[in-house]
Amino acid sequence: MKQTPVPAPRLTGTAEQLAASRSMKPPERPAGPAHRSGVLAPPPLQSNFDGLGQGTSGVRPPDTHGAVGLNHFVEVTNGRGLGMFQKSNGALVKNVTFASFFGYTAQTIFDPRVVYDKKWNRWVVVAEAFQESATIQNVFLAVSTTSDPTGSFYLYKFDAAEPSGDFLDFPQLGMDQDAVIITANIFAGNTYVRSRVMGIAKSDIYNGRAFSMLYQSLGAVGSVAPPIVEDNNANAFLVVAGVGSPTALRLFRASGLGRSNASIAAAVNVPVPSFSLPPDARQPGVADRLDSLDARFQNASTQIGNRLLNVHTINMGNFPTPRWYQINTSTNTVAAGESGILREASDSDDFNPAVAGSSVGGTASNPIGRMFFTWSSTDAVGSGLHHASVKGSGRLATDPVNITGGSTLATATTAYNPSTSTVERWGDYSAVSIDPVAYGTCAVGQRAWIVNERHVNTTQWGSRFGSFGFC
């Protein structure tokens, strides 16, 4: 195992401002209502707020991501940096660019992610910068010293240890009880060449110490989603949905991450129904489409017991359609009743999804009892035409597997067409996180927060965040 040393961080308080689908017939969508009457009611929407917007410093795509903590919701986006909002009323209490936050201006910092560690009450932020040279590209990691995101952070910067000219991209952020887990794609020029996984000991970075980390290649397998492990499982499972293997997911078992004996076992295949790259999402009245990305898992999985939950967008009946899976990591299978789809209606285009699960209502045979989703949706062909919406919904373990309808947090009134491209960048991702605090009659695990991209006019992106729950 390659161990890469990283020096001790500087401790600082934050400040201010930055800068072909495969040739196979796609499965058909199951029959369902053309619009929203007669569908399973989503968990009630409990809060709904405007998040960060493009303004004058945002760049496309926003890479909208976020997480909920004890008193705050923290959102990260390209260009606008970190936004710290009060949960109680959605008020923005602090906004700081990545250049100021990390004290780095040599290159633009982008591709941010943030996770809240509920056990240790710490915020963890990761991002990368464009290359300074053929041999220097910096990755940035921040860990709060308390549960307050407006306070101080340990700040780390390290060079991605790649061959000259190679470029680290699309980092994803997860964790188990001992380690922060980062995955990334590596490119040589415009050619994808491999995926990396990093395992960093919490005991080091949560105490502001220098660290050595696992830095391992998984080969050219596609984008690897790390887990957020919600229990004390000794193994952390990483998953890939590569269209090179369109009838299987690939599952890696990592052990001892954050320790000197860390190891990652060779991937095993998890059979699933065939899938292919999704078409881009249509917008009513215009030829321009919104990028539905590809069939990768865009966000971290939820891992509870022997189940791993994630969602990706596939082609279903020539509609972009999110499909979720609950993988049994003991048998490397997805059982009947443990996979389904998300859609607003039978004629909507649905994409850019994220999911999180909780153990409330779970059983020994099905430990994830609650699921919470967000996604983007347009309707360009049906009776309920609309531009891009921010959607949220959820399901109990005993509910039907397919989710239709959902709550709408925001809907645009115009098409999104900020460039001369015929396919506009969107996402590249969204986020769902479980509230670590009980809320009225809503116990921990019954309520989640989501954040997703919206657009406020033809050329400006925005975002929306909010909460909903089974209570």
Segment 391-407, tens digit of pLDDT:
999 999 999 999 999 99
The b/e string for 118-128 (b: 16+ C-beta within 10 A; e otherwise) is beeebbbbbbb
Q: What is the sign, positive or negative, of the torsion defined by CA atoms of 300, 43, 38, 399?
A: positive
Confidence of residue 9 (pLDDT cuts 50, 70, 90): confident
Beta strand 403-404 with 339-343 is parallel
Amino acid in the structure at residue 250: R
Q: What is the dihedral of CA 118, 369, 76, 153, to 10 degrees?
A: 10
Mean pLDDT, the chain, rounded, equals 93
On the question of pLDDT at 3 being above 90, the answer is no
Predicted confidence (pLDDT) per residue in 186-241, tens digit: 999 999 999 999 999 999 999 999 999 999 999 999 999 999 999 999 999 999 99
The CA distance from 292 to 302, in Å, is: 22
- β-sheet bridge partners, residue 141: 126, 156
Cβ atoms of 466 and 47 closer than 8 Å? yes
On the question of pLDDT at 274 being above 70, the answer is yes
Cβ atoms of 450 and 353 closer than 8 Å? no
Phi, psi for 185 (deg, rounded to 5): -95, 145
Confidence of residue 31 (pLDDT cuts 50, 70, 90): low
Q: Tell me, what DSSP letter sits at residue 369?
A: -
The CA distance from 274 to 38, in Å, is: 29
pLDDT (average), residues 434-450: 95
Percent of the chain beyond pLDDT 70? 93
The two three-digit tokens of residue 118, written as one number = 């509920």
CA angle 364, 177, 368 (to 5 degrees): 25
Given this model, what pLDDT does residue 257 score?
A: 95
- Of 16, 119, 118, the residue nearest 67 (C-alpha): 118
The CA distance from 331 to 408, in Å, is: 37
Least confident interval from 17-21, 404-408, 466-470: 17-21
Given this model, what pLDDT does residue 13 score?
A: 47
The two three-digit tokens of residue 234, written as one number = 């000794």
On the question of pLDDT at 244 being above 90, the answer is no
CA angle 254, 245, 307 (to 5 degrees): 40
Cβ atoms of 75 and 465 closer than 8 Å? yes
On the question of pLDDT at 246 being above 90, the answer is no
More confident residue, 25 or 156: 156
Least confident interval from 34-43, 78-87, 135-144, 392-401: 34-43
pLDDT (average), residues 336-352: 97
On the question of pLDDT at 285 being above 70, the answer is yes
Beta strand 227-229 with 301-304 is parallel
Amino acid in the structure at residue 393: S
pLDDT (average), residues 404-433: 97
Given this model, what pLDDT does residue 41 score?
A: 72
pLDDT (average), residues 435-446: 94
Concatenating the DSSP letter of every residue in 391-440 gives EEEEEETTS-S-EE--EEEEE-SS----SS-SEE---S--EEEE-SS-BT
The two three-digit tokens of residue 346, written as one number = 């039978």
The CA distance from 49 to 90, in Å, is: 6
Sort residue 165 into left (φ over 0), alpha (ψ -120 to 50) or beta: left
- β-sheet bridge partners, residue 136: 133
- Of 448, 402, 239, the residue nearest 328 (C-alpha): 239
The CA distance from 399 to 176, in Å, is: 28
Q: What is the sign, positive or negative, of the torsion defined by CA atoms of 173, 174, 175, 179?
A: negative
On the question of pLDDT at 24 being above 60, the answer is no
Given this model, what pLDDT does residue 40 score?
A: 61
